[in-house]
Amino acid sequence: MLLPVGNLSSLRLPFISGIASLFLTGAVTALALKSPSQTQQPAVASRAPFASSIPVGQGGTSVTLGSPPAAEAAQGGVNMVVLDPAHGGTDLGARGTGGIQESEITMEFAAEVRRALEQQGFQVVLTRQGNDNPSFDDRSAIANAQRGAVFITLHIASTGLPGTVRVYVNSDLPPVTSPNGFIPWDRAQAPYLGLSRKLGDLVQGMLMQRFKGSPDTAQTGTIRQLRTTAAPAIAVEVSSVVVNDRSDLDHMAPGVADAIARGVVAFKPFYVIPGTGGASP
């Protein structure tokens, strides 16, 4: 264990340079990972109907080493589901009777949904692990850094008929393409709206079968979380924190999880990711 002094001093230079290079690579990696969330991203020029021409994600995705090869992706499919247990930390979300907090219950639902999705073979990533509150942008960035991801944000409402579930997709955003073919970060959802609606309708259909009184198609809303998400993205809101007993909500979790998993499975063939050709303008 003990090294002779002379030996140590001869090791000092390589040791210092090793540390320095570690720092450098760390900084470069951090910058590279951050860039998709802050740079403008190229888009396909046209807003063609979904499945015939799918909006290409982002130039920034090339940074993500985990992206599957185009050939594999082109066969379709969803490679990853990003689950967002909404709120957290000081943001408790909706608060109901008997100390029920939205931020807490969304975590429970997320665990259940994750289990159901993993059983169907999907890779699942959560936007938060504990009781923290990442920003809207940080949550979106997790999906935006992936090719073939879908994004699902989970909420518990403060209103609505208890025992029902509503799925939302973002309402229309104005056309996003500019002459140089860039999508602004703050409107990242725009090219995915058609796909989001398809996913939303499929999941809502599954939910309606289980939870009577739920709508049969997805609703539209101007949801902040969805706007910056460059992936098919939906919000699922369960009614409500105003229940007599918390167990009323707990009992809904497996059904919600199963319906979401079935909806994503049904969506898989519609999500065709084009090859690398379309990625660069």
Partner 1 sequence: MTEPRMEPAKHPLNRPLRFWLITLLVFAVLGAAIFAPILGKRMKRAARLQQQSEEQARRELTQPIPVNPSDPRVKAKLFWLSDADNSVLAPVVVELPLSNDPVLRSKQVLNTLLAGPVDAELRTLPPDAVLLAFYLLPDGTGVADFSAALATSIPSGIASEQLAVDSMARTLEANVPQVKRLKILIHGQEVETLAGHVDLTGTFVVNADTGQTPANSAAAGAASKTSAFIAPPSPLTPDHRVVKLAQR
Q: Which residues are near partner 1 by CB under 8 A?
A: 40, 86-87, 91, 93-95, 102, 136, 155-161, 166, 168, 170-178, 180, 182, 184, 186-187, 219-225, 227, 235, 237, 239-240
Q: Please, which residue, 128 or 155, has the CB nearer to partner 1?
A: 155
18 binds, among partner 1, Zn ion, none (CB under 5 to 8 A by kind): none
Minimum distance between the CB of residue 251 and Zn ion, rounded to whole angstroms?
20
- Residue 45 has what DSSP assignment? S
Cβ within 8 Å of residue 2, ≥6 positions away: none
Near Zn ion by CB under 5 A: residue from 43, 73, 86, 234: 86
Minimum distance between the CB of residue 149 and Zn ion, rounded to whole angstroms?
21
- Residue 27 has what DSSP assignment? H
Q: How far apart are CA 13 and CA 150, in angstroms?
A: 48
State the pairing for strand pair 149-156/80-85: parallel
Residue nearest to Zn ion (CB): 155
Query: Interface residues for Zn ion in 87-106 (CB under 5 A)?
Result: 93
Minimum distance between the CB of residue 86 and Zn ion, rounded to whole angstroms?
4
Contacts of 114-121 with CB under 8 Å at 24 or more apart are: 114/83, 115/257, 116/254, 116/257, 116/258, 116/260, 116/261, 117/81, 117/83, 117/257, 117/260, 117/261, 117/264, 119/261, 120/261, 120/264, 120/265
62 binds, among partner 1, Zn ion, none (CB under 5 to 8 A by kind): none
Near Zn ion by CB under 5 A: residue from 128, 155, 166, 198: 155
Q: How far apart are CA 105 and CA 98, in angstroms?
A: 13
Q: Tell me if 206 sits within 8 A of 259, measured CB to CB.
A: yes
Residue with token string 């997709």: 169
Minimum distance between the CB of residue 132 and partner 1, rounded to whole angstroms?
15
Q: Please, which residue, 113 or 272, has the CB nearer to partner 1?
A: 113
186 binds, among partner 1, Zn ion, none (CB under 5 to 8 A by kind): partner 1
33 binds, among Zn ion, partner 1, none (CB under 5 to 8 A by kind): none
Q: How far apart are CA 259 and CA 167, in angstroms?
A: 11
Q: Please, which residue, 93 or 200, has the CB nearer to Zn ion?
A: 93
222 binds, among partner 1, Zn ion, none (CB under 5 to 8 A by kind): partner 1
- Residue 273 has what DSSP assignment? P
90 binds, among partner 1, Zn ion, none (CB under 5 to 8 A by kind): none
In the β-sheet with 149-156, what is the strand arrangement from edge to edge?
123-126, 80-85, 149-156, 233-238, 165-170, 219-221
Interface ranges with Zn ion (CB under 5 A): 86, 93, 155
